[in-house]
Amino acid sequence: MSVFRITKFLPPKAVTNKFAATWLKSIFKVLGSQVLLQIIGFGTSILLVREMPKTDYAIYTVLFSIQAMLNILSDSGIMIGFNAIGGKVWQNKTEFASLLKTVAYIRNRATIIAFVFTSIYGASVLMRQGATPLQTTLFILSLLLIVFPEVYKSFIQQALLIRKEIGNVQIASILYQGSRLFLIIAAFILFDSGLTIYLVLGVTVLSVWLSALFILDKSKHIRVQAAEVDLNYKSTLFRYLKLNWHNALFFSFQGQISIFLLGLLGTTSNLAEIGALSRFSIVYTVLLALVSNIIGPGFGRCQEKANMVSIYALVLMSICAFTGLTLLLAHLFPFAFLWVLGEQYQHLSHELFLILVGSSISLAASAIFNLNSYKGWIAFTPVWEIPVNLISLTVGALLFDLSTLTGVISLSIIGASTNLVLYLTNSVVGFKQAGAIVNNQGI
């Protein structure tokens, strides 16, 4: 446990001198585009919250919760294996191309299987909310056109990040968010019907494909056509898949349990409200983007224990400072936050604070999971993630009224807290097993 003493949380002077310039250069390279991305994304979200009818926004919330489930299920531990292997072979063009081919082979099949099951779940929730069979079919087909290019794009972007090719990844994200906002504003101005769910889905499909085609064009140099599926990589990736698929299945459901419970037990208004309040979690995405785009890949390449401890500690301290300030502002000035959402949501000050608490804990858990995944640190996850989460959900179900917005958000806080503790435990074991290696490629 000496690794986690407070005095060791601060970077050693030698580490600081060696990495400070590189860290700052990398961070500022991505920070500007991330700030722009979050401004665009937040603007788009608020426009949809304020201008879409509540019934349409409830459907929108359900559909994009299904997309979030698919993102998790299409991974199912595959990307943990990819990150662990890619951090070692990223400089070898032939080996890296073979790894990409192998991951694409496995992940495409995982996505198809996941889509079948999530479509059944999504259709049941949508029809319970009043959607007709024809509408439900159209919504699911639209989701299909969004998910498949998005899943493949995210995988290729991860490969570029491992190779420290950050620029095109940022451009692709800006292209998606920017084109989506532009088309939504254009539709809002041109069509008298306003922002309906059909217009928003159509715009999203166009924007996803535009950014996916861009990233495919910019990644030609790493996607060697002659590359073959490598049996050793395939075996390793399947090992990660077998270890994690059941956890991914459970986690995908747990992550969207608020939508699921309100879809079954709550009202359409509740669904719209939790979707609207969740927009504020976007304030944390800049920090998470830095972890995902800069710190995570660098942590994966780093092989010296002292440097890894310093990186990890800086991430934790930054998250605590940022989330603490956000929660303080939300507690003191809830009316300022809710004003942004419009008159329909002004009564949700208590729920606002709760959802930011949950988002803060989820940010910490996601960041730590990201760092762990680049090292393959999942010691307790395969065995314990489902049991401890089932216990936490059972306790939450006994304590809270799950037909209310407050009860469902409180349940999600318990679930996020459980995952945070589990991922921290994985990190402790990972650091204990990590040896100090002099030959450090670093960030």
* Per-residue model confidence as pLDDT tens digits over 219-265: 888 887 777 888 888 888 888 888 778 777 777 776 677 777 777 77
Q: For the residues 91-95, what does the mean pLDDT come to? A: 82
φ, ψ for residue 347, nearest 5 deg: -90, 10
Radius of gyration of the chain (CA): 22
* Per-residue model confidence as pLDDT tens digits over 297-314: 888 778 788 888 888 998
Q: Are 331 and 353 in contact (CB under 8 A)?
A: yes
Q: What is the pLDDT confidence band of residue 208, given thresholds at 50, 70 and 90?
A: very high
Count of residues for the chain?
443
CA–CA separation, 8 vs 431, rounded Å?
13
CA–CA separation, 34 vs 294, rounded Å?
12
CA–CA separation, 73 vs 22, rounded Å?
35
Q: What is the pLDDT confidence band of residue 353, given thresholds at 50, 70 and 90?
A: very high
CA–CA separation, 443 vs 268, rounded Å?
47
Tell me how far CA of residue 440 lies from CA of 12, 15, 104, 437, in angstroms: 15, 11, 29, 7
Does residue 153 carry a pLDDT above 90? no
Q: What is the pLDDT confidence band of residue 32, given thresholds at 50, 70 and 90?
A: low
- In the Cβ-directed half-sphere of 361, how many Cα atoms lie within 13 Å? 20
pTM comes to 0.67
Q: Please, where are the H alpha helices in 256-380?
A: 257-265, 268-277, 285-290, 296-301, 305-332, 334-341, 349-375
Q: Which two tokens stand for residue 80?
A: 């943990």
- Strand, helix or coil for residue 329: helix
Q: For the residues 203-210, what does the mean pLDDT come to? A: 94
Q: Are 197 and 52 in contact (CB under 8 A)?
A: yes
Does residue 21 carry a pLDDT above 70? no
Q: Write down the residue that tokens 């400070």 correspond to.
A: 20
Q: For the residues 314-339, what does the mean pLDDT come to? A: 92
